[in-house]
């Protein structure tokens, strides 16, 4: 495939390496230094685009790919407040978009295990649950998209939780956490690719499941695999659509 990389930072450079290793060609690289090159004419050179930019740039990048009719894989998070709007636009214009909070195979296995555990925990109300996430200080959004996906998976399966709240670097809300609220505790520490933990605690013990990324390679490879999967499809997809954990 010919691939356009939108967001050519550390992640974009690792994606480039995996794409080339898998026989693809990078025909466009967009960074903060050449935003003016994100045109329909340049995008049309690509069979698919991969976006790992910033939350404030993601929506414009998505619409640019829609205008060029180029399938797009979006790994950027922090824009999900406009998810329904983008889905409607994608489907009405017969475009193709695949998004995900995390493209790592291991993390998507973790998402599945998280939902299975949450469903089981409906039978054990003595356990309360929270999500903890740690990322590098360059990560702009909080909580991470991965942490939000974990929290939403718990809320979907665990009847006693209805919404999540985020605390960053130990900040404490003025209002105490309600019983139906799920805490996402976020920390930002230098040189941490990403650690996510789901903790169920009772008065007598604790159950913990954790995913720790050693580097960004798993995310990058997953993004290239997602682009390969999306190339000849039409519609609006989530990374979970690629996997079959049944």
Active-site residue list? 135, 139
Compute the distance between CA of residue 86 and CA of residue 92 in angstroms, rounded to an integer.
Answer: 10
Which three-class secondary structure state does DSSP give residue 242?
helix
**Contact between 210 and 71 (Cβ < 8 Å):** no
Yes or no: say if 188 and 137 are a contact pair by the CB < 8 Å rule.
yes
Q: Which helix (H) or strand (E) holds 186?
A: strand 181-188
Q: Whole-angstrom Cα distance, residue 22 to residue 223?
A: 12
**DSSP label at 214?**
S
Please give the DSSP secondary-structure letter assigned to residue 191.
Answer: T
CB atoms within 10 A of CB 89: 16
Transcribe 104-171 into DSSP letters: -HHHHHHHHHHHHHHHHGGG-TT-EEEEEEEE-TT--SSS-HHHHHHHHHHHHH-TT--EEEEEETT-
């Amino acid at each position: 495939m010919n691939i356009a990389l939108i967001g050519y930072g550390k992640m974009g450079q690792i994606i480039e390496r995996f794409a080339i290793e898998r026989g693809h060609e990078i025909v466009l690289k967009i960074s903060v230094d050449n935003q003016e090159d994100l045109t329909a004419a340049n995008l049309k050179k690509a069979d698919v685009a991969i976006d790992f930019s910033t939350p404030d740039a993601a929506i414009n990048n998505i619409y640019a790919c829609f205008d060029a009719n180029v399938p797009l894989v979006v790994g950027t998070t922090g824009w999900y407040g406009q998810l329904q709007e983008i889905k409607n636009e994608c489907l009405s214009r017969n475009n193709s978009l695949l998004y995900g909070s995390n493209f790592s195979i291991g993390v998507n296995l973790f998402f599945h295990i998280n939902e299975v555990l949450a469903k089981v925990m409906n039978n054990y109300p003595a356990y309360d649950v929270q999500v903890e996430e740690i990322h590098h200080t360059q990560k702009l959004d909080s909580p991470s998209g991965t942490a939000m996906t974990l929290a939403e998976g718990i809320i979907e399966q665990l009847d006693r939780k209805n919404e999540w709240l985020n605390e960053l670097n130990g900040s404490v809300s003025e209002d105490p956490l309600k019983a139906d609220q799920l805490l996402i505790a976020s920390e930002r520490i230098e040189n941490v690719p990403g650690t996510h933990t789901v903790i169920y605690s009772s008065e007598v013990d604790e159950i913990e499941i954790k995913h720790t990324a050693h580097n960004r390679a798993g995310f990058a490879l997953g993004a290239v695999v997602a682009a390969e999967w999306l190339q000849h499809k039409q519609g609006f997809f989530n990374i979970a659509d690629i996997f079959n954990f049944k």
